[in-house]
Amino acid sequence: MDRTQINSIHSRCEHFLSYHRPCSLREHLRTIADSEYCDVGRDAYGQGGFVAQFESEIASLLGKEAAVFMPSGTMAQQIALRIWADRSGVPMAAFHRTCHLELREENAFREMHRLDVVLLGTSEDIFHLVEFEALSQPISTLLIELPQREIGGILPTWEELSAICSLARERGIHTHLDGARLWECGPYYGRSYAEVCALFDSVYVSFYKILSGLPGAALAGPADFIAEARPWLRRHGGNLQQQTPSAISAKLGMDRHLPRIPEYVAKAAEIAVALNSVPGVRTIPPEPKTNLMHIMLPGEPESLVKRAMEIAEQERVFLFGGLIQTPEGSRTELSVGDGALGLSGARVADLFERLLQSPMQA
């Protein structure tokens, strides 16, 4: 089953276990063009227009002095680590071993910024206070990802997170928040984004994931840090001639989805209970704290995807379109958005029971 067939089936569904009801690129662009934010005017190389206004809003929302809009988080985080490393004179950071910088950026922080890293945690768990306490190597920056995406979206408790960040400050270590999915952490911590971000010196947030904007990110922090980030943005080639369409789509995504994050997180909890009730199925974590979890299934990816497509065609419910093989079966990532709000836990459990029946009986 190829990607084109899967996309075609996806486009005919009504409910989507992961992410939002799809919006075509055409609709997306028209929504941006029709929005009042277009009246604010465009930026020129990041200066003025809607981008400047949006940067102020993001800084305020995250409780930081300043923010800069960027094309990607890959830029934002390398730049943050580079600035903190240059300031402390220690070209070494510490972050979780499944961090985006370690797994998804082709070693850019080493190759382009000559930084090195102490990897923390395990392939199944976040790192804990005791591990960070024991760290004897000098490091400039501790990067924490909330939630830790690659291991199913695990979050530290508020107490442990606060203790880790306090210890970092005591030791003169800068703290940076990888907030690619920060928006989704609000309900668990029960605190404002600004309160969560107050634990950190700098913060990156993303606009194209749960907020479903065009590609875009922001880096926020002290005013002098953001002023230093701008020439680094230019060095990376990210000071684009204009970013207004991306910034408007980010703002529209915030308007639409931020108020609904608690619904997505609550629905994820309901779905997790349902999934864990199906024999052979389990979620990581067993009780998600955000809208994110991994689903572990018995069986081979290929036959499970084929069966999921049959169910999608019959029921107009899209469960998943891809799986990764694991030693014990198959694994997929689930991020609950508005596409699943019309699905009850009972319906999800029923569909996964059917999924695991032999495809031969279909």
- Give 49's Cβ-side CA count (13 Å radius): 19
Closest to a copy of itself by CB, 107 or 361: 107
Closest to a copy of itself by CB, 135 or 240: 240
By CB under 8 A, is residue 316 in contact with a copy of itself?
no
By CB under 8 A, is residue 258 in contact with a copy of itself?
no
Give the shortest CB-266-to-a copy of itself separation in angstroms.
27
Point out which span in 161-169, 237-245, 275-283, 347-355 binds a copy of itself (CB under 8 A): 237-245
Report the C-alpha dihedral over residues 349, 351, 353, 354, rounded to 10 degrees. Answer: 170
Cα separation, 226 vs 117, in Å, equals 23
Residue of 53, 88, 162, 242 that binds a copy of itself (CB under 8 A): 242
**Burial class of residue 183, CB neighbours in 10 A (0-12, 13-18, 19+):** buried
Residues 47-66 that bind a copy of itself (CB under 8 A): 48
By CB under 8 A, is residue 18 in contact with a copy of itself?
no
Q: Are 312 and 10 in contact (CB under 8 A)?
A: yes
Closest to a copy of itself by CB, 76 or 272: 76
Place of tokens 């569909």: 351
By CB under 8 A, is residue 306 in contact with a copy of itself?
no
Residue of 69, 71, 84, 95 that binds a copy of itself (CB under 8 A): 71
DSSP lists the bridge partners of residue 119 as: 95
Point out which span in 91-99, 102-110, 307-315, 326-334 binds a copy of itself (CB under 8 A): 102-110
| Three-state SS at 205 | strand
| 215 preceded by a cis bond (ω within 30 of 0) | no
> Which residue type sits at 319?
L
Of 195, 192, 133, nearest to 160 by C-alpha is: 133
Closest to a copy of itself by CB, 141 or 246: 246
By CB under 8 A, is residue 121 in contact with a copy of itself?
no
By CB under 8 A, is residue 112 in contact with a copy of itself?
yes
Give the shortest CB-302-to-a copy of itself separation in angstroms.
20
By CB under 8 A, is residue 238 in contact with a copy of itself?
yes
Q: Are 178 and 220 in contact (CB under 8 A)?
A: no
By CB under 8 A, is residue 280 in contact with a copy of itself?
no
Q: Phi-psi bin for 202: left (phi > 0), alpha (psi -120 to 50), beta?
A: beta
Burial 315-354 (b: 16+ CB within 10 A, else e): bebbbbbebeeeeebbbbbbbbbbbbbebebebbbebbeb
Instruction: Write out the two tokens for 332.
Output: 């997929």
Point out which span in 23-31, 265-273, 308-316, 335-343 binds a copy of itself (CB under 8 A): 23-31
Point out which span in 56-64, 240-248, 316-324, 325-333 binds a copy of itself (CB under 8 A): 240-248
Give the shortest CB-38-to-a copy of itself separation in angstroms.
5
Residue of 111, 195, 287, 300 that binds a copy of itself (CB under 8 A): 111
Q: Is the dihedral of CA 113, 118, 120, 124 positive or negative?
A: positive
By CB under 8 A, is residue 12 in contact with a copy of itself?
no
How many residues make contact with a copy of itself (CB under 8 A)? 46
Give the shortest CB-114-to-a copy of itself separation in angstroms.
8
Closest to a copy of itself by CB, 51 or 126: 51
Going from the C-alpha of 75 to that of each of 105, 169, 171, 253, the distances in angstroms are 10, 24, 27, 21
Q: Site residues (CB under 8 A) for a copy of itself?
A: 3, 7, 24-26, 29-30, 32-33, 38, 41-42, 48, 70-76, 78, 104-108, 111-113, 208, 214-215, 231-232, 234-245
